[in-house]
Amino acid sequence: MNEHACVLGIDIGGTNLRVALADLSGKILARTSSTTTNVRDAHSVVAKIRECTDQLLQEVGLARTAIAAMGAGAPGVTNTETGVVVATSYLMGWHDVPLKSMLEDAMGVPVAVDNDVNLAALGESSFGIANGTPNFVFLAVGTGVGAGIILKGELFQGSAWTAGEIGYMLVPGVSEKPAAAGRPGPLESMAGGEGLRLKWLSLWPSTQTKLPKNLTATQIFDGAVAGDALANSLLDRAAYTLACAIHNMTLILNAPLFILGGSVGLHPALQDRTQSAVDAHARRLRPRVVLSSLGSDAQIMGAVRLGQLIAQQRS
Amino acid sequence: MNEHACVLGIDIGGTNLRVALADLSGKILARTSSTTTNVRDAHSVVAKIRECTDQLLQEVGLARTAIAAMGAGAPGVTNTETGVVVATSYLMGWHDVPLKSMLEDAMGVPVAVDNDVNLAALGESSFGIANGTPNFVFLAVGTGVGAGIILKGELFQGSAWTAGEIGYMLVPGVSEKPAAAGRPGPLESMAGGEGLRLKWLSLWPSTQTKLPKNLTATQIFDGAVAGDALANSLLDRAAYTLACAIHNMTLILNAPLFILGGSVGLHPALQDRTQSAVDAHARRLRPRVVLSSLGSDAQIMGAVRLGQLIAQQRS
């Protein structure tokens, strides 16, 4: 294979690091993933990325010079101009990490970085269900809730790189008290994985449910589908809360498509009930609520796309 | 004065038509306004615009050929590509009015049209308090509530020209029932002029207020400042509701500036209390809530700016 014939996509998550090598059309040639549970500081993560990359290059029989560029997603507020990760959640604990320059030094290739939810939106825009849709929102529902926003075909990050931080949105039914640091925000208390887990724990003692005390949000949704009343009320509330957020974003952005992704967001029962609740409030236009077509690969495919864009700029 | 040395700005409102003649730098040379109370159909409005324009040209001693282009604001959903006003409020009752081509036929100059609230945002961006701010929102609080959104220095209208239709936003405290046709939406029921008037009317019989039964929103706010308890509770609720909307828009758009305009929105007490309520919920960034610096001229100055932009494209 020629020099500069492939790109690298990196997805740095709170629990997993994924690395993918793709050709210039975005087709994955090889990929690997690795836990980040004990690899949290930025220097260790960069070293791990280098190690994974060398492993992938060896797998496909390519030299480092084959890499044209790389795109990397970070789990936090990211300045895409300077390539600095301003802040991540407490899990990673990063502050002002110059990820772009650290990766460029380590790998010797041009690098672009962005927030991981933004990259999931970019992935769906380029390789997924949003291809050809200029305005849409990717809703990442995992531990918390965040949004990646594509407007006029491009990622919109806002004045200080925090556009889409919707876990703190105020909609009917949420707590109106400012959230304590490190705790779920008002919207994600109702619709995010950690919020749902905490709500289940607090309601469990006073109800007749036969389900166990410790459940993940996805298990709660499974319980709802199987007919458990408490689980059903939590799923309904999560869907209604997300529907309010989608309604509000539709009014503001007039986007016709909302993509549910993330470990909790990919549950089909959530998508189904959210669409119904959205329809009940729809005005001129009924936004479509769909499941991510790339699933857990949305982020990494967005990182590959970012790598492609940098490679195109440089060639 | 040379040929093509000035532009026309038009603001078509539910009660007033304003026409301004400006030089190419945006300086107003002459202006006039006229009631639209009995001039509602599009053909009569266009005839009136022509009449007003001829009057202004005569005033400053210019021929029709001096006009390089014109920008016009319509009080409803406007397709800026085709120049068709898709729908206005019931006051005007327009549906699919080809305003751009009607004006071009009548005036013989290139015309661009947009929604009036969008033009207010454009006015503040070019000649007002938002000059130099790439991302901001103009909040028009009049009979209802609407927003004009500037992102990356440009108007953002959305996929079907309805971006910023925030009168229907769902925030804590609003009615969650879908609003009936022709009635204020959930957010504007609390914070818009008609919603406030109706709320005052419904609460008035059961309270001790010494203020009269029929009041405008602005009079209610004046009453609040003068110490009336009922008026005060309505002002507080309006400010809190607007603050929730601003909070939500800040999370989604990460815009640092919100400009209050419109007949109700220009009341200083509303701005003061809205900023306080926004501050109580602010996270990383505290968005600034300011009064429109162009006041009731925001729309017409945006129309002038739109005319300038068309004149620049054509020259």
- Is residue B61 domain-shared with residue B169, that is, in the same domain? no
- Min Cα distance A135 → chain B (Å) is 7
CATH number assigned to the domain comprising residue A286: 3.30.420.40
- Is residue B86 domain-shared with residue B232, that is, in the same domain? no
Over residues B82-104, mean pLDDT: 91
- Is residue B25 domain-shared with residue B147, that is, in the same domain? no
- Is residue B140 domain-shared with residue B86, that is, in the same domain? no
Q: How confident is the model at residue B256 (pLDDT cuts 50, 70, 90)?
A: very high
How many separate domains does chain B show? 2
What is the pTM assigned to this prediction?
A: 0.96
Closest Cβ opposite residue B249 in set A161, A176, A252: A252
- Min Cα distance B171 → chain A (Å) is 4
Rounded to two decimals, the ipTM of the complex is 0.95
A135–B contact, CB cutoff 8 A: yes
C-alpha span between A274 and A260 (Å, rounded):
10
- Is residue A144 domain-shared with residue A177, that is, in the same domain? yes
Q: Does residue B287 register a pLDDT over 70? A: yes
Q: Does residue B90 register a pLDDT over 80? A: no
Note the pLDDT tens digit of each residue in A235-266.
Answer: 999 999 999 999 999 999 999 999 999 999 99
Q: Does residue B179 register a pLDDT over 80? A: no
- Is residue B76 domain-shared with residue B116, that is, in the same domain? yes
Helices in chain A by DSSP H: which ranges? 42-60, 99-107, 116-127, 186-191, 193-203, 217-225, 229-253, 262-265, 268-281, 298-314
B153–A contact, CB cutoff 8 A: no
pLDDT attached to residue A91: 67
- Is residue A119 domain-shared with residue A153, that is, in the same domain? no
C-alpha span between B66 and A105 (Å, rounded):
60
Q: Does residue B200 register a pLDDT over 80? A: yes
- Is residue B61 domain-shared with residue B167, that is, in the same domain? no
Block means of pLDDT (10 residues each) for chain A, 315 residues, are 87 92 96 88 94 96 95 96 90 90 97 98 98 97 96 97 96 88 90 97 94 97 98 98 98 98 97 96 87 97 97 86
Full residue range of the structural domain in which residue A214 is found: 130-293
- Residue pair B170/B186 in contact (Cβ under 8 Å)? The answer is yes
Over residues B278-287, mean pLDDT: 86
- Is residue A119 domain-shared with residue A136, that is, in the same domain? no
- Is residue B163 domain-shared with residue B287, that is, in the same domain? yes
- Is residue A117 domain-shared with residue A58, that is, in the same domain? yes
Cα dihedral value A270, A276, A278, A283, nearest 10? 170
pLDDT attached to residue A118: 98
Which residues have CB under 8 Å from B197's CB, separation 6+? B215, B216, B217, B220
Q: Does residue B72 register a pLDDT over 90? A: yes
User: B154-168, B172-186, B241-255 — which is least confidently predicted?
Assistant: B172-186
Chain A CB contacts of B178 under 8 Å are 280-281
Whether residue B65 lies inside any domain: the answer is yes
- Residue count of chain B: 315
C-alpha span between A28 and A22 (Å, rounded):
4
For A168, the closest chain B residue by CA position comes to B251
Whether residue B270 lies inside any domain: the answer is yes
Share of chain B above pLDDT 90, in %: 87
Q: How confident is the model at residue B93 (pLDDT cuts 50, 70, 90)?
A: confident
Mean pLDDT over the full length of chain B: 95
Whether residue A260 lies inside any domain: the answer is yes
- Residue count of chain A: 315
> In this structure, what token pair is assigned to residue B254?
């990460």
Whether residue A151 lies inside any domain: the answer is yes
How many C-beta atoms lie closer than 10 Å to residue B208's C-beta?
Answer: 7
Which residues have CB under 8 Å from A243's CB, separation 6+? A274, A277, A278, A280, A281
Whether residue B1 lies inside any domain: the answer is no
Helices and strands (H and E) in chain A: how many: 10, 13
| CA-to-CA separations, A298 to A127, B25, B239, in angstroms, rounded | 9, 48, 40
